[in-house]
């Protein structure tokens, strides 16, 4: 770089000085830091020259920062616009961005000394697999990371929203089942028997109270071996607590059995968990199926080669445990297809069982009361008092513990058990129980194992007990079974059918032993028929062999034809039967049978009618020694909302629906018509599912054209075996098309408002002065408003014609001008 001097005097002076120096050179010594310059040499400072001391430190170089607002694309997925930082060729992003992108930073990542909106910035290069591509034209940045750095995505079952239970409508119901039979015995007197089963129930906001009864030989036929009697069966009050998944029962009920214990009828109190009160609740563990997606992808899940679910997942690891409920074991194939069309296949096996509880889940029940005896024979025969409890806990998804205890004045029993998954996709269970009573102590043990695959299944269970072991419900003088073994195996081939084997062994303390072996084979025949063969052999106490064959042929219209042949000992049975079940739109069913049973020629037939008010049946059978005729009727009667209804058996919840003023309108669940309104517009809707949304719907085609409803469907969430009230408000009166003209002969202007006097509903005039008005009586006063003007019209409707809209007018409107 040169220096140019423009002053002419200064130029001349420098030129002369340079000439003198060149003609008289000075011999100079080498210079050091301590050597002063020669005296003859004096630098001439120039006015514009700045002298810089060599020892002064150089200023620190500052980094160059560039703020870049860019649309960011992460592994092919758009992730919004972010403010990135470029510093010396490296890219940085705010901490919030990493959280939004689901990208996990290494723990030793250090932010730089830059903050924007109080957000620290961190290097993108710290993320494994980082790649960056900047597109200035679109102001976007494409980032690529390794799939493993993304936070895992878990597709879980969406928790079912617990619906709000509808208000309980106080009600009463009676279920009845009448049976009459008459038997004509060859060479003996005829026998006639009239029997009845009845159940009485009442429900309100407190709960449900039911009581069942049985009547035998109500016609008091002396030919029967039992006298006329009326026996109480069960009386129970039930209170559900859906928010807690608990149920309380008072009265007659059954204890909850564990792995080794038995169900026992008793009268008293029972309180425990009841997960059926939550819709869609799954208590068993659901298998988790993991995978990795390099980019946003679609996952097709095939369970045992059947497509069961399609899901969308973002980039990164994912786990699916929201697929439909499965039981047993099988194979899953997940096809992962990303946005670039790349396909990855992940295969793995799964195993689950309804006998397991999900991790952390508890299932329990406690009971106390008196053991019920001779149920069905005596009304109020109760034995010793007792208390019992059962508790099950899901310790892990693959391990469930169980405890059960029984206490009474003469008996104390305690048992523990566990259910666990085993290698090779098997389920194992084991339990041990100890009992203590007067002068005796005993033990019982159980070991079991089962395996279930798509084509094969196997199970084996062994139970043993000492002679002094005793448990609740076991007759006092009856010894337990010494050893019992039960096992089975089955395998289904692709083409030739299913094979099965079974074994059962009973070793008893007091009576003879019994052992059986059985085998079976079934194969499809044609498109939908099935042929099966069975054989069994009893030995070790009772000897005998049985061989049988069974053919089932389904036909259209709910008809089935079957044939059976069975040979055991010296007895050969053979029969052919055909049945037809009732269906929607077809209330009639029937059956017929002919052949030999117990070495006697036999024929049977029956006809059945199922309607809105119950079921009627008639059966007849004849053989060489007797002829029997049976007649039956069952149904229900409901008292609710001060009305009496006849209906089918009330085994579930029900609703009282009202369409005020409209008779013979069909109402049902969804598209399933169940009832019709009576003269008051009221109908009983049976078969509602408790604690679930039930869509109660009207049949709109059975409403007149003038009927005006806000909705033809309403949702009801009833409590168990309780009633709810559903109102379908319908605007009353008739509808008519009114034509309105003004005094000047012009039609009423479009947009004018028409109202029935005394009614808040508004209607608008359309083109040509026409207004469709509903809610009209035979004689009504209609008010028209337009531009702060008003007139009144007298409307008289013509006689009603079904399915036609009345037309009235022209009606003269006085006092309104355009």
pTM to 2 decimal places: 0.76
What is the token pair recorded at 165?
């239970």
Domains and CATH numbers, the chain: 65-149 (3.10.20.410), 289-335+344-352 (2.60.40.3110), 652-731 (2.60.40.2610), 734-813 (2.60.40.2070)
* DSSP string covering 467-518: TT---TTS-TT-PPEEEEEEEEEEEE-SSS-EEEEEEEEEEESSS--EEEEE
Whose tokens are 């030129």? That residue is: 15
Residue 551 has what DSSP assignment? E
Beta partners for 434? 414, 443
CA–CA separation, 385 vs 254, rounded Å? Answer: 14
Closest alpha carbon to 240 in 660, 720, 635, 791: 720
Backbone angles phi, psi at 186, to 5 degrees: -65, 120
| Pair 726, 640: CB distance under 8 Å | no
Backbone angles phi, psi at 387, to 5 degrees: -145, 145
| Pair 781, 756: CB distance under 8 Å | yes
pLDDT along the chain (818 residues), means of 10: 40 37 38 38 40 50 75 85 84 86 85 78 87 84 86 69 87 95 80 92 95 91 83 95 94 92 93 90 80 82 79 80 66 80 79 87 95 90 93 93 93 94 90 90 94 87 93 84 93 90 90 90 90 90 86 90 88 90 83 87 92 92 88 95 92 91 86 86 91 89 74 90 90 81 85 85 86 84 86 87 80 80
pLDDT value of residue 186? 73
CA–CA separation, 753 vs 688, rounded Å? Answer: 44
CA–CA separation, 704 vs 696, rounded Å? Answer: 19
Beta partners for 250? 237, 269
209, 647, 654 from 637: Cα distances, Å: 16, 6, 12
* DSSP string covering 183-251: EEETTS--EEEEEEEEEEEEEETTEEEEEEEEEE-TT--TTSSS--EEEEEEEEEEEEETTTTEEEEEE
Instruction: Please name the residues in contact with 108: beta carbons below 8 A apart, sequence gap of 6 or more.
Output: none
pLDDT value of residue 27? 40
What is the token pair recorded at 91?
């890219």
CA–CA separation, 94 vs 71, rounded Å? Answer: 14
pLDDT value of residue 325? 58
Q: Which H helix or E strand runs over 454?
A: none
Whose tokens are 């309607």? That residue is: 611
Closest alpha carbon to 74 in 294, 290, 335: 294
Whose tokens are 């070991």? That residue is: 447
CA–CA separation, 778 vs 806, rounded Å? Answer: 11
């Amino acid at each position: 770089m040169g220096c140019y001097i423009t002053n002419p005097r200064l130029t001349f002076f420098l030129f002369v000085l340079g000439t003198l120096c060149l003609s008289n050179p000075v011999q100079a010594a080498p210079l050091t830091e301590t050597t002063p310059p020669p005296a003859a040499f004096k630098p001439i400072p120039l006015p514009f020259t700045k002298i810089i001391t060599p020892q002064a430190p150089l200023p620190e170089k500052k980094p160059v920062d560039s703020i870049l607002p860019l649309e960011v694309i992460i592994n092919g997925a758009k992730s919004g616009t972010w403010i990135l930082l470029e510093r010396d060729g490296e890219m940085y992003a705010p901490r919030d961005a990493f959280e939004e992108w689901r990208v996990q930073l290494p723990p030793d990542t250090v932010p730089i000394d830059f903050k924007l909106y109080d957000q620290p910035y961190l290097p993108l290069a710290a993320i494994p697999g980082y790649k960056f591509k900047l597109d200035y034209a679109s102001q976007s940045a494409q980032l690529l990371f390794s799939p493993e750095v993304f936070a895992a995505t878990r597709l879980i079952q969406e928790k079912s929203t617990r619906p709000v239970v509808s208000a309980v409508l106080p009600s009463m119901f009676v279920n009845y089942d009448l049976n009459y039979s008459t038997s004509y015995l060859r060479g003996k007197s005829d026998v006639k028997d009239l029997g009845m089963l009845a159940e009485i129930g009442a429900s309100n906001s407190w709960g449900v109270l039911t009581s069942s009864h049985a009547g035998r030989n109500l016609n008091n036929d002396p030919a029967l071996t039992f006298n006329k009697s009326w026996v109480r069966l069960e009386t129970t009050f039930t209170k559900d607590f859906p928010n807690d998944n608990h149920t309380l029962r008072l009265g007659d009920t059954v204890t909850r059995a564990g792995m080794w214990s038995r169900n026992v009828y008793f009268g008293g109190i029972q309180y425990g968990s009841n997960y059926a009160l939550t819709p869609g609740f799954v208590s068993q563990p659901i298998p988790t199926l993991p995978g990795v997606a390099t980019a946003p992808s679609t996952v097709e899940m095939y369970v045992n080669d059947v497509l069961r679910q399609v899901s969308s997942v973002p980039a990164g690891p994912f786990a699916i445990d929201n697929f439909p409920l499965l039981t047993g074991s099988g194979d899953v194939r997940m096809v992962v297809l990303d946005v670039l069309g790349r396909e990855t296949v992940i295969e793995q096996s799964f195993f689950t069982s309804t006998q397991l509880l999900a991790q952390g889940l508890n299932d329990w029940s406690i009971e106390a009361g008196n053991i019920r005896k001779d149920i069905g024979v005596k009304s109020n025969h109760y034995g010793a008092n007792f208390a019992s409890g059962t508790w099950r806990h899901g310790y892990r998804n693959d391990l469930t513990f169980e405890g059960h205890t029984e206490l009474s004045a003469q008996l104390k029993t305690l048992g523990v058990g566990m259910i666990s998954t085993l290698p090779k996709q098997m389920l194992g269970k084991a339990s041990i129980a100890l009992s203590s009573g007067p002068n005796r102590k005993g033990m019982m043990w159980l070991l079991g194992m089962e395996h279930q695959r798509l084509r094969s299944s196997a199970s084996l269970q062994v139970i043993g007990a000492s002679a002094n072991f005793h448990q609740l419900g076991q007759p006092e003088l009856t010894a337990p079974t010494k050893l019992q073994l039960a096992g089975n195996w089955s395998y289904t081939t692709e083409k030739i059918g299913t094979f099965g084997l079974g074994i059962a062994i009973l070793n008893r303390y007091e009576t003879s032993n019994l052992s059986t072996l059985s085998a079976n084979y079934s194969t499809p025949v044609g498109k939908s028929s099935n042929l099966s063969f069975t054989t069994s052999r009893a030995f070790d106490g009772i000897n005998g062999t049985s061989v049988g064959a069974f053919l089932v042929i389904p036909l259209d219209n709910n008809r089935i034809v079957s044939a059976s042949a069975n040979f055991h000992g010296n007895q050969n049975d053979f029969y052919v039967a055909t049945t037809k079940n009732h269906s929607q739109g077809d209330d009639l069913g029937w059956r017929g049978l002919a052949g030999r049973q117990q070495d006697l020629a036999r024929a049977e037939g029956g006809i059945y009618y199922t309607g809105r008010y119950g079921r009627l049946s008639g059966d007849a059978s004849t053989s060489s020694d007797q002829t029997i005729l049976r007649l039956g009727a069952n149904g229900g009667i409901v008292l609710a909302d001060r009305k009496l209804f006849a209906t089918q058996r009330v085994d579930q919840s029900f609703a009282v629906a009202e369409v005020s003023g409209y008779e013979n309108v069909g109402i049902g669940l969804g598209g399933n018509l169940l009832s019709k309104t009576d003269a008051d517009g009221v109908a009983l809707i049976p078969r509602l599912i408790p604690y679930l949304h039930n869509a109660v719907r009207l049949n709109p085609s059975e409403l007149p054209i003038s009927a005006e409803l806000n909705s033809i469907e309403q949702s009801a969430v009833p409590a168990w075996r309780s009633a709810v009230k559903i109102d379908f408000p319908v605007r009353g009166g008739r509808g008519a098309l009114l034509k309105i003209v003004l005094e000047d002969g012009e039609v009423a202007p479009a947009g004018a408002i028409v109202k029935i006097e005394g009614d808040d509903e508004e209607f608008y005039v359309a083109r040509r002065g026409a207004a469709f008005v509903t809610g009209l009586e035979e004689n009504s006063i209609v008010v028209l408003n337009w531009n702060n003007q008003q007139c009144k019209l007298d409307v008289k409707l013509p006689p009603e014609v079904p399915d036609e809209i009345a037309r009235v007018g022209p009606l003269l409107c006085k006092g309104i001008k355009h």
